[in-house]
Amino acid sequence: MSAARPRRILTVCLGNHCRSPLAALVLAELGGPAVEVRSAGVRDKWAGHPAHAQMVTAAAEAGYDLSVHRGVHITRDLLGWADIVLAMDTGNLTTLRALADVRAAPKLGLYLADRDVPDPWGGEPAAFADVVRLIQDGAPRHLP
């Protein structure tokens, strides 16, 4: 008997620069071999670039290493790859709904079921630390 394929989770934020890379890392570390996780952004401005320096610092303070992250722009292929697509906020979810085909549309949802993960961009270090906590708290509901 073969083992089941890992659950494929795609996390998405605006630039794949702060929230979605951290969410992907948290989900991957907590989910272990039961999940395969990727992240992407709805804008391509940060594609190929490292995560935001303040997010790298906030993540490190919580025990996560974002230093190897490089931004990725969302594609229909990534939507097709995923079993579940988690948008960090309602704006990203709206953009994803416009991009998704009929097969991908049912996979879309918010990372936090009832609210947005706020974008810490331009905020103080405490805003980044708050996002780390929100992402950690929201992760278990997405894991098998």
Helix 19-31 vs helix 53-61: angle between axes, to the nearest 10 degrees? 30
Distance between CA 108 and CA 93 in Å, rounded?
7
What type of residue sits at position 2?
A: S
Distance between CA 102 and CA 112 in Å, rounded?
23
Active-site annotation holds for 13: yes
Q: Pick the catalytic residue from 18, 19, 38, 89.
A: 19
C-alpha 81: how far from chain center: 14
Q: Pick the catalytic residue from 5, 7, 13, 141.
A: 13
Distance between CA 136 and CA 126 in Å, rounded?
15
Q: Pick the catalytic residue from 18, 38, 89, 119.
A: 119
Active-site annotation holds for 119: yes
Distance between CA 108 and CA 58 in Å, rounded?
27
Active-site annotation holds for 19: yes
Residues annotated as catalytic are 13, 19, 119
